Structure formats: C-alpha cells, structure tokens
Amino acid sequence: MKRLAILASGAGSNARNIIQHFKEHPDVEVALIASNKADAGVLRIAEEFHIDTCLLNQENFTSGNGFLAILKNRKIDFIVLAGFLKKIPAWLIHEYPNAIVNIHPALLPAYGGKGMYGHHVHEAVHANRETESGITIHFVNEYYDEGEIIFQAKAKIDPQDMPSDIERKVRALEIEHFPKVLERLLQQKTKGE
C-alpha cells in the first residue's frame, strides 16, 4: 500500500479528483491533506472525505521541520503538490527523493518559475499569443518548476481564446490525466522495490 499526502493552497479541484480516483483503490490511499492556508477549500474537501489534515506554517515547514514527524507518523511514502504555492524546503526534498510530484498549468520549461502560478500563467500565455498550452507533471527538486518531467499534455489555443478559456482547457487536461499519471508512477515504484 502506498500512502499519499496532498499539499494544496487553494480550491482543491485537483485534490478532490485525486481523492475520488483512489477511493477504494487496493494499493493507494490518500492519507493526509496539508495546506499553508487555514481557509483553503481543500481542507473542507478533506473533511468531506474524512481525511486527516495538517496546517503548514513557518515553524513546522519553512524554518523548522515539524511536518516531518507528521509525515512519518502517518507513514506517508509519496507527496503530491496540487496547486501548492509555497516553495518546498530542502529538508523535505532530501527526505522524499523522487517522491514529490507537482502539476504545473503550462508546458514547462515555458511559463515556469517564481510568480508563475494559476491565472498568472494563463494571462502570460494569452499575452504572448501562444497557439498551444497544456500541463506538465514533474518531480520536484530545489528549483521552482525545474525537476524531471514525467508527463505533458497539450491543448490547442484558438485566436479568440481569453485567459479564462485557456484555463478551462488546461484544467480539463489536469482532471483527465493527473490521477492516472500518479497511478502509473506509483505502480512503477511498487514494482521497482
């Protein structure tokens, strides 16, 4: 059994989709939802599905590492960033090598890096009149959006598309692919052990 923690800062539509995908799954369990925002929608989703939650702060995450004890206590093997907007501290990358995965709402390496998140990404893609965008699922290393790419999927952008249309197309790709890519990755990890 692989036990997942999902880290998210926002509404949590990806988190909800992942939770639903692995509900009753024989080999994977979403065992913890952590957020740096006390009012994040994702914490209400966790409650709805009776999943343990944890609030991340300066003390347990950024300058200290109290969150590690929580991860160990819950026997978490794998961490999923689903709209998590804080930088992952070096101690966590060190503790979970090749076991932290992020989803980014663009085709990295384009439109990545600090400040490139959520609607900012789609606005930049729109301003540059790109003809395609998409999603990137990648391992997390110590540099924002630069870890090894696991999967990408593309969406065509029409000339009349506004940033909100681009977002809608990208979100549809996230919902379609993220849980399946995670499932494949976790299966490979289990086989490789």
Binding site for ligand GAR (CB under 6 A): 8, 10-15, 82-83, 103-105, 117-118, 121, 171, 174
Name the residue among 114, 43, 51 with its Cα closest to residue 82.
43
Cα angle for residues 93, 29, 136 (degrees, 5° grid): 50
Kindly tell me which of 128 and 191 has the beta carbon lying closer to ligand GAR.
128
Toward ligand GAR, which CB reaches closer, 75 or 86? Answer: 86
Supply φ then ψ for residue 116, to 5 degrees: -95, 90
| Cβ 151 to ligand GAR shortest distance, Å | 13
Shortest distance, CB of residue 153 to ligand GAR, whole angstroms?
12
Rounded CA-CA distance 106/118 in Å is 10
Minimum Å gap between C-beta 190 and ligand GAR is 26
Nearer to ligand GAR, 10 or 147 (CB): 10
Strand partners, 132: 156
Kindly list the catalytic residues.
104
Q: Which tokens sit at 71?
A: 């991860």
